[in-house]
Amino acid sequence: MAFYLLGLSILLVFLPFKPSIIKIPVWCVSFLIAVLLGVIEGILSIQGLAVIFVYSVLLLASLGLRVVWLRRVAVGIFGVFSLALAMHLLPGFSNYAVLVREPVSSDGIPFSLYANFDKGLVGLFLLGYFFRGQARVGYFMALQNPKKALVIFFATPCLALGLALLFGLIHLDVKLPHFWLAFLGINLLFTCVAEEAFFRGFIQRGLSNWLEGKLSLFVAPLITALLFGVAHIGGGVEYAVVAGVAGLGYGYLYYLTKRIEWSILCHFIVNILHLLLFTYPMLA
């Protein structure tokens, strides 16, 4: 149940509503209940609670400190802490295994699927940082460059998966795995949200604010895409290149729209098409 409430909290960050009865964003309430249930269900230990407390303090400091240099230090530590959590380097979390090294495609390498409380936590807190607490109505009022955004939205999956085919990383393999429904929820809320909130909402936006002007159009999405590719180097150089190309598409989607959900959804579409239509996760 804790994982469901954590997923609900992530969705509630996008809700442009702050009740007058309480003075905190609405997602915080469901998150606190998720933490409580996480302790009861054995997902979180005392160490996990300590990690969440420190992470919460860093988020508040990153948003609320008025001394500029102190806030920048807090933001930097918050970013490093986020990366450590996403990489499962901090203790106190017992993540739920849906699959452990099972074959999805007959010619593919074994695949494991986990519902990761720590990575979901990263996505939630980074969205909280991105929205400075919670999304506001004005965020959803305008969409910049919708035609260009739609072109990139549809071109990115074609280019990324086409490149993976060209490199021989995958073959055509149409299927509907038995775990597809769990994959949808976990991949969208715990994987795509966390990765896009970190790479696009945190790193790329930070670079764009620092560079400003036309230079940010080329440099910020490119650097972020390179980092995104490096983060996937565990699958090999060619896999990292494919991830970098996909990351470039996600990055320009965010640049054009200033809307993080566009890059999240595009990332999700790439992953779903990969699962349903091609060798997953890659050829053995």
Q: What pLDDT is recorded for position 21?
A: 55
Amino acid identity, position 17: F
Q: What pLDDT is recorded for position 218?
A: 79
Q: Is residue 29 part of a domain?
A: yes
Q: Is residue 235 part of a domain?
A: yes
Q: Is residue 283 part of a domain?
A: no
In this prediction, the residues of the chain whose per-residue pLDDT falls under 70 are: 18-22, 142, 213-215
Helical pair 260-277 and 146-166, crossing angle rounded to 10 deg: 30
Closest C-alpha to 52, from 115, 114, 124: 124
Q: What pLDDT is recorded for position 18?
A: 65
- Opening angle at CA 231, ends 48 and 117, nearest 5: 25
Q: Is residue 284 part of a domain?
A: no
Q: Is residue 96 part of a domain?
A: yes
Helix (H) or strand (E) holding 159: helix 146-166
Domain span at residue 271 reads 2-277
Rounded CA gap, 194 and 239, in Å? Answer: 20
Q: Is residue 282 part of a domain?
A: no
Domain count, the chain: 1
Contact status, residue 125 vs residue 82, Cβ threshold 8 Å = yes
Q: What pLDDT is recorded for position 20?
A: 52
Q: Is residue 43 part of a domain?
A: yes
Q: Is the dihedral of CA 61, 67, 69, 72 positive or negative?
A: positive
